[in-house]
Amino acid sequence: MKKDLSTEEKIKAAAKEVFISKGFSGCSTREIAKASGMNVALVNYYFRSKSELFKLVFHGAMEDFVNSMVNVFSSDAPLEQKIRLVIEAEYDFLSTHPELPAFIVNEMSREEGCQIDTTFFDKILSTGIFDECTKAFEEGRMRKIDMANLTLLIMSNCDFPFMSKNLMKAVHKISDEELNERLIAHKEIVIEMLITYLFPQKTNK
Amino acid sequence: MKKDLSTEEKIKAAAKEVFISKGFSGCSTREIAKASGMNVALVNYYFRSKSELFKLVFHGAMEDFVNSMVNVFSSDAPLEQKIRLVIEAEYDFLSTHPELPAFIVNEMSREEGCQIDTTFFDKILSTGIFDECTKAFEEGRMRKIDMANLTLLIMSNCDFPFMSKNLMKAVHKISDEELNERLIAHKEIVIEMLITYLFPQKTNK
DNA sequence: AACTATTTTAAACAAGTGTTTAAAACGAAT
DNA sequence: ATTCGTTTTAAACACTTGTTTAAAATAGTT
């Protein structure tokens, strides 16, 4: 039968959960220790310091975050389909990891924060998706748009809905369940809106 | 000639700046005191506690945040124009307050966080903008959409670009200036995309 | 001037922070 | 059983945290 998680793994798992939901400065080493069932000394025994442990967690979070996109972009689907699929993939992924975008965006803005490992973004680049877009609008198959703006369009409409869950619940005075239904519907809205905007040559419905 | 700011005002101003850029748990009472040129005791003398001071700052931030929308919605412009204008207003507002959306979204997700004063959102409601939309798509002048989804569409595309500045700079390896140019361009993209999506009856370009 | 209420200060409080220490418990190998 | 390296523990370290105290400085009024 499978062995239990090692102490090191238990701590890292607990750290991931705590860091992602409370942020680096929103939690203490002792809180992570307690959440993992261990004690403070063990945390530093295995990971040297709170910051080192955080770097590991952040790195992992980034990896998860980027991979869900890379998988889609690496496929051999036609461009329009890739855009559809990446939105679907993001919504699916974020349904199980709703706290990730806020975590990443926030921690990237911390002063002492993450001088980030840009390998992640090179991974996106190396899928050739940007070149594919450039070619597509040179051939008139897609609306011309700067890659930064395209990235913003996709991420805004995928990530923000999950980042703003608590705000939305307050604004519209709705429950978690109701909000989740809205999010499911929102995926389709975003897909249609973005596809229509980016590929306007479609002559009609 | 104008008197200097009072001690109380100086502290509140410093608190606003520090809280908004670092978050509640990202800063200390002493940091706020130092930023205002005062000492710790004065902070609690005027504001009772860190939490009380924070509530005040958060309340003010919310007010600013909501007001920029309310002003537009209260105007007598036609609906489509209102949507255009609210996006313009948001981008203008956020250009000078880029940290606000992240601050609000984050602090709304804190555990001990802001059991929020829903007055703010009632203010939006009372502009009648939602009723106006309902009527508009009953008359076929606008695409039918749930109000939560409409709110999400607008806020996603206005707020996220400013929240993700540091992420975007890292992803695309661009400077502040370059990013700001992208944001200016993004405003127009968002306006066209949203208007086209929400008011699709336009027969052509 | 003297008295009062308000404002400011430096110092202290207990509790919490990240981190380290040094000893104990453990596991595997001889 | 003894040794060894690894893992775990409890305790302590120095420092920061939010908050309070009690005295000092200031301003206002008579």
Sequence ranges of the domains in chain A: 1-48, 51-198
- Residue B118 with chain A: CB contacts under 8 Å: 170, 173
For position B113, what pLDDT does the model report?
63
- Residue A170 with chain B: CB contacts under 8 Å: 108, 116, 118, 121
pLDDT digits (tens, 9 = 90+) for B3-55: 467 999 999 999 999 999 999 999 999 999 999 999 999 999 999 999 999 99
Please tell me the class of the B49-198 domain. Answer: mainly alpha
Q: Which nucleotides of D are covered by protein (CB under 7 A)?
A: 7-12, 16-22
Interface of A with B in 7-66 (CB under 8 A): 22-23, 25-26
For position A3, what pLDDT does the model report?
43
Residue B182 has pLDDT above 70, yes or no: yes
A18 CA vs C27 C1’ separation (Å): 32
* Tokens encoding A202: 């479609």
Alpha-carbon A170 to chain mean position: 23
Residue B203 or residue B185, greater confidence: B185
Q: Tell me the mean pLDDT in the region B91-101.
A: 97
Which of B48, B47, B39, B49 minimizes the C-alpha distance to B12? B47
pLDDT digits (tens, 9 = 90+) for B112-151: 766 667 788 889 999 999 999 999 999 999 999 999 999 9
Distance CA A109, CA B162 (A): 11
Decide if B198 contacts B143 (C-beta within 8 A).
yes
The total number of residues shown for chain B amounts to 205
Residue B83 or residue B204, greater confidence: B83
For position B1, what pLDDT does the model report?
30
Superfamily of domain B1-48: Homeodomain-like (1.10.10.60)
Distance CA A62, CA A119 (A): 10
Nucleotide nearest to A38 (CA to C1'): D8
Nucleotide nearest to B50 (CA to C1'): D18
Shortest Cα–Cα distance, B77 to chain A (Å): 24
Decide if A63 contacts A120 (C-beta within 8 A).
yes
- Residue B25 with chain A: CB contacts under 8 Å: 22-23, 25-26
Residue B202 has pLDDT above 60, yes or no: no
The total number of residues shown for chain A amounts to 205
For position A64, what pLDDT does the model report?
92
For position A115, what pLDDT does the model report?
66
Largest CA distance in chain A: 66
Contact across the interface for A145 and B189, Cβ inside 8 Å: yes
For position A203, what pLDDT does the model report?
53
Exposure string of B54-90, with b = 16+ CB inside 10 Å and e = fewer, is bbebbeebbeebbebbbebbeeeeebeebbbbbbbbb
* Tokens encoding A182: 């809205």
User: Least CA distance to A147: which residue of chain B?
Assistant: B172
Residue B92 has pLDDT above 60, yes or no: yes
User: Least CA distance to B147: which residue of chain A?
Assistant: A172
The pairs formed by A176-183 with CB atoms below 8 angstroms and a separation of 24 or more are: A179/B148, A182/B146, A182/B148, A182/B149, A182/B152, A183/A91, A183/A95
For position A113, what pLDDT does the model report?
63
Measured CA to CA in angstroms, residue B188 lies from A193, B87, B101, B133, B205 at distances of 15, 9, 20, 22, 15
Average pLDDT score over chain B: 92
pLDDT confidence bin for B203, thresholds 50/70/90: low
Distance CA B183, CA B165 (A): 9
The helices-and-strands tally (H runs, E runs) of chain B is 11, 0
Question: Is A160 in the B-facing interface, judged by CB distances under 8 Å?
Answer: yes
For position B71, what pLDDT does the model report?
87
Interface of B with A in 94-153 (CB under 8 A): 102, 104-106, 108-111, 116, 118, 121, 124, 145-149, 151-153
Residue B205 has pLDDT above 70, yes or no: no
User: Could you say which residues of chain A have pLDDT below 70?
Assistant: 1-4, 113-116, 202-205
Task: Identify the CATH number of the domain defined by range A51-198.
Answer: 1.10.357
For position A202, what pLDDT does the model report?
55
Alpha helices (H) in chain A, listed in sequence order: 7-22, 29-36, 40-47, 50-74, 79-96, 100-108, 119-125, 129-138, 147-163, 165-172, 176-198
For position B157, what pLDDT does the model report?
98
Q: Which of A143, A171, A177 to mutate to test the interface with B (most CBs of B within 10 A)?
A: A171
Contact across the interface for A152 and B168, Cβ inside 8 Å: yes
